[in-house]
C-alpha cells in the first residue's frame, strides 16, 4: 500500500528536511524515553497507572510469566523465571482500538502497514517491531502497550510530529528493562526510534523469544478494600447475611443457590482445595496415587498433594471450569502453602510460587477473581497475581503485618479468627482485635472453626 494521509505527508516532510527514513518509516529523533515494566504497580512515576495489564492484554503479566522487575536481572531477563514473551518490548502513545473495544475507523489513512484485510478483533499495532538507537547502538523491541500517557497521538507515532505528552519531559516512548540494559538508557533519556518490518530485524537477544500473542481481553471481578464478606463452607448456606461477598464451597453449593445469591446482589467466591486430596470429592478418583502425600493434621480423609506433578493441572483446570459453569465470580484455592508443611514431598518455595501463579493465571483466563489463601511468606511475590487475600488467624499469631501489602495495592484482606476469647470478648480481647483490624483496614470476622454459619461476628459491625 502506498503512503497516504498524515503518514505520507510526514515522510515527505522528513525527507525534504534531510532526515533518513529506511523501509518507508519515519525516524523519530531525540525522543524522551522512560522505563516501564510488566507487573509495575501504580505509583507517582507512572501517573498511578499500573502495568499489570496492557491495552491489548488484560492478562499481560500472567502471559509474560511474572513481574519483569528492573532491579534483579539475569542477563536481559528478570531473575527468578524465564519470560514466556519477549523481554524486549516498548510502548508508544497509540491504541488502534477505542474504549468500546472496536478498531478505530480510518486507520488505513495513517498506519502505513494496514491493508484493510486484517482479521477483525486483532491489533494491527501489537507486536510490531521498533528499532531504538542510543549513541549509535541499536536495539529492537516489540510494541506491547500504549504510552507513555496517551493512546491517540497519531501525528507523532505515525508521522513526524513531536509527542503531545507533557509529562516526564515530553516522554514519547516507554522502554523495557531489557532495552534499557542493552542500550545503557537512563530512566529519563533521549533515543531515536523507527518502525521496522520483521525481516529487517537482525539476530540478537530480542529474537530469543518473540511475542506472537494477540488481543486478549478478559475481565474479572476485583473486590474493593471496603468489601464485606461472609465465609461458610458447611451446612445450609445462610443467604440473609449482609455482606458483599459470600465465600462458599464449590462442590456442595448448587447453581440455584449461587443464582439466588446473585439475585440478592451478592458476589460469590467458590472454595476448593488446590493443595490437598479429599476423598469425598466427586473428582477424587482422578488423582493418581503417586501425587498423594501425608495426611493433613486434624482432617480425616485428606492428604497433601505433590504440586510439582503435571497430572494436577488438568484436574485444577476442570475445577475452575466447574466454577465458571456454576456462575462463581471468583475462587478460593485452599492449602496453597504446602511447602511450609510436612507434606511427604520435598516442595520448595519456588515450587509453591510456580503452582500458585498457575492457579491465578488459569482463574483469570476464565474471568474469575482469585484469592491468595494464607501463604504469608510469599505475599510480596504473589501479590500482583491475586485479587485479594483470605487469611486465618493473623491476629492470633501476630502475622497481620505480612498482609498489609495487599491493602497498599488497593486489594482487600479478609481475615478470620476462631479463638474463644474473641467470641466472648474476655478481658476486652475482641475489642482490641477489632480496633487493630479497623486500623489496618482489614475485614475481620470471628467465626466457628467448622465454618458452618452458626454465628458470625464482624469487626466492621461492632
Q: What is the pLDDT of residues 173-224, one digit of tens each?
A: 999 999 999 999 998 999 999 999 999 999 999 999 999 999 999 989 999 9
Asked whether residue 325 carries a pLDDT value surpassing 60, the answer given is yes
Q: Which of 207, 238, 258 is the last residue of a domain?
A: 207
High-pLDDT (> 70) share of the chain, %: 94
Lowest mean pLDDT among 1-5, 35-39, 373-377: 1-5
Q: Which of 147, 176, 207 is the last residue of a domain?
A: 207
pLDDT tens-digit map of 334-349: 999 999 999 999 999 9
- Count of alpha carbons within 13 Å of 335, Cβ hemisphere only? 21
Would you state the pLDDT for residue 18? Answer: 31
Q: Answer yes or no: is 342 within a domain.
A: yes
Residue 411 and residue 268 in one domain: yes
High-pLDDT (> 90) share of the chain, %: 87
Determine the average pLDDT of the residues in 210-239.
95
Q: Are 110 and 7 in contact (CB under 8 A)?
A: yes
Would you state the pLDDT for residue 47? Answer: 62
Lowest mean pLDDT among 39-43, 102-106, 395-399, 456-460: 39-43
Residue 268 and residue 175 in one domain: no
Would you state the pLDDT for residue 178? Answer: 98
pLDDT tens-digit map of 152-178: 999 999 999 999 999 999 999 999 999
Residue 166 and residue 47 in one domain: yes
Q: Answer yes or no: is 159 within a domain.
A: yes
Residue 404 and residue 293 in one domain: yes
CA distance 244 to 225: 11
Residue 246 and residue 110 in one domain: no
146: cell is 500504549
Asked whether residue 15 carries a pLDDT value surpassing 90, the answer given is no
Would you state the pLDDT for residue 142? Answer: 98
Residue 183 and residue 100 in one domain: yes
Nearest by Cα to 93 from 49, 41, 138: 49
Would you state the pLDDT for residue 100? Answer: 82
Q: Are 197 and 129 in contact (CB under 8 A)?
A: yes
Q: Answer yes or no: is 216 within a domain.
A: no
CA dihedral defined by 150, 155, 156, 162, rounded to 10 degrees?
-100
Provide the residue range defining the domain that includes 166: 5-207
Would you state the pLDDT for residue 442? Answer: 98
Q: Which of 147, 173, 207 is the last residue of a domain?
A: 207
Q: Answer yes or no: is 217 within a domain.
A: no
Residue 142 and residue 290 in one domain: no
CA distance 51 to 256: 38
Residue 61 and residue 123 in one domain: yes
Q: Answer yes or no: is 222 within a domain.
A: no
Asked whether residue 120 carries a pLDDT value surpassing 60, the answer given is yes
Question: Structural domain tally of the chain?
Answer: 2
Q: Answer yes or no: is 224 within a domain.
A: no
Q: What is the pLDDT confidence band of residue 121, given thresholds at 50, 70 and 90?
A: confident
Residue 28 and residue 141 in one domain: yes
Would you state the pLDDT for residue 6? Answer: 37
Nearest by Cα to 158 from 30, 24, 34: 24
Would you state the pLDDT for residue 46? Answer: 63
Q: Are 220 and 161 in contact (CB under 8 A)?
A: no
Would you state the pLDDT for residue 4? Answer: 32
Q: Are 132 and 184 in contact (CB under 8 A)?
A: no
Asked whether residue 61 carries a pLDDT value surpassing 80, the answer given is yes
Helix (H) or strand (E) holding 31: strand 28-35
Residue 321 and residue 396 in one domain: yes
Asked whether residue 20 carries a pLDDT value surpassing 50, the answer given is no
Q: Answer yes or no: is 405 within a domain.
A: yes
pTM of the full predicted structure? 0.81
190: cell is 533521549
Helix (H) or strand (E) holding 317: helix 312-326
CA distance 358 to 275: 13
CA distance 379 to 257: 32
Q: Answer yes or no: is 184 within a domain.
A: yes
Q: What is the pLDDT confidence band of residue 136, given thresholds at 50, 70 and 90?
A: very high
Q: Cell match 471481578: residue?
A: 221
456: cell is 458470625
Would you state the pLDDT for residue 434? Answer: 97
Q: What is the pLDDT confidence band of residue 48, given thresholds at 50, 70 and 90?
A: low
Would you state the pLDDT for residue 39? Answer: 92
Residue 255 and residue 155 in one domain: no
CA distance 408 to 411: 7
* CATH code, domain carrying 62: 2.40.40.10
Residue 285 and residue 172 in one domain: no
pLDDT tens-digit map of 283-318: 999 999 999 999 999 889 999 999 999 999 999 999
* CATH code, domain carrying 238: 3.20.20.70
CA distance 172 to 157: 9
Amino acid at each position: 500500500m502506498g503512503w497516504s494521509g498524515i503518514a505520507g505527508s510526514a515522510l515527505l516532510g522528513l525527507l525534504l528536511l534531510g532526515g533518513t527514513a529506511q523501509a518507508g518509516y519515519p525516524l523519530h529523533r531525540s525522543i524522551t524515553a522512560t522505563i516501564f515494566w510488566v507487573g509495575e504497580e501504580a505509583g507517582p512515576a507512572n501517573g498511578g497507572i499500573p502495568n499489570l495489564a496492557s491495552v491489548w492484554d488484560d492478562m499481560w503479566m500472567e502471559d509474560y510469566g511474572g513481574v519483569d522487575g528492573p532491579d534483579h536481572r539475569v542477563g536481559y531477563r528478570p531473575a527468578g523465571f524465564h519470560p514466556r514473551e519477549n523481554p524486549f518490548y516498548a510502548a508508544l502513545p497509540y491504541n488502534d482500538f477505542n474504549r468500546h473495544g472496536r478498531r478505530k475507523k480510518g486507520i488505513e489513512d495513517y498506519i502505513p502497514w494496514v491493508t484493510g484485510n486484517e482479521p477483525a478483533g486483532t491489533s494491527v499495532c501489537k507486536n510490531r517491531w521498533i528499532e531504538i538507537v542510543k549513541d549509535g547502538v541499536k536495539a529492537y523491541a516489540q510494541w506491547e502497550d500504549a504510552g507513555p500517557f496517551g493512546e491517540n497521538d497519531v501525528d507523532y507515532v505515525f508521522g513526524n510530529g513531536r509527542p503531545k505528552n507533557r509529562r516526564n519531559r515530553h516522554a514519547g516512548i516507554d522502554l523495557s528493562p531489557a532495552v534499557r540494559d542493552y542500550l545503557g538508557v537512563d530512566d529519563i533519556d533521549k533515543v531515536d526510534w523507527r518502525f521496522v518490518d520483521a525481516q529487517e530485524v537482525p539476530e540478537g537477544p530480542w529474537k530469543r523469544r518473540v511475542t506472537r500473542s494477540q488481543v486478549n481481553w478478559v475481565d474479572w471481578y476485583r473486590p474493593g478494600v471496603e468489601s464485606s464478606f461472609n465465609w461458610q463452607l458447611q451446612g445450609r448456606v445462610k443467604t440473609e447475611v449482609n455482606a458483599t461477598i459470600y465465600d462458599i464451597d464449590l462442590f456442595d453449593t448448587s447453581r440455584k443457590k449461587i443464582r439466588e445469591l446473585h439475585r440478592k446482589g451478592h458476589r460469590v467466591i467458590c472454595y476448593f482445595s488446590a493443595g490437598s486430596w479429599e476423598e469425598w470429592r466427586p473428582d477424587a478418583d482422578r488423582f493418581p496415587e503417586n501425587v498423594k502425600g501425608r495426611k493433613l493434621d486434624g482432617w480425616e480423609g485428606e492428604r497433601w498433594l505433590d504440586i510439582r506433578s503435571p497430572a494436577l493441572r488438568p484436574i485444577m483446570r476442570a475445577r475452575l471450569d466447574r466454577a465458571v459453569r456454576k456462575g462463581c465470580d471468583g475462587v478460593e484455592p485452599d492449602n496453597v502453602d504446602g511447602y511450609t508443611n510436612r507434606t511427604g514431598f520435598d516442595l520448595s518455595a519456588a515450587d509453591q510460587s510456580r503452582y500458585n501463579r498457575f492457579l491465578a493465571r488459569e482463574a483469570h483466563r476464565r474471568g474469575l477473581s482469585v484469592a491468595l489463601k494464607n501463604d504469608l511468606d510469599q505475599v510480596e511475590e504473589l501479590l500482583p497475581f491475586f485479587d485479594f487475600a483470605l487469611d486465618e488467624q493473623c491476629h492470633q499469631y501476630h502475622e497481620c503485618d505480612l498482609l498489609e501489602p495487599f491493602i497498599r495495592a488497593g486489594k482487600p484482606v479478609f481475615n478470620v479468627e476462631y479463638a474463644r476469647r474473641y467470641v466472648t470478648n474476655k478481658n476486652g480481647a475482641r475489642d482490641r482485635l477489632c480496633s487493630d483490624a479497623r486500623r489496618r483496614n482489614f475485614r475481620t470476622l470471628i467465626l466457628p472453626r467448622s465454618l458452618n454459619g452458626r454465628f458470625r461476628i464482624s469487626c466492621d459491625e461492632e
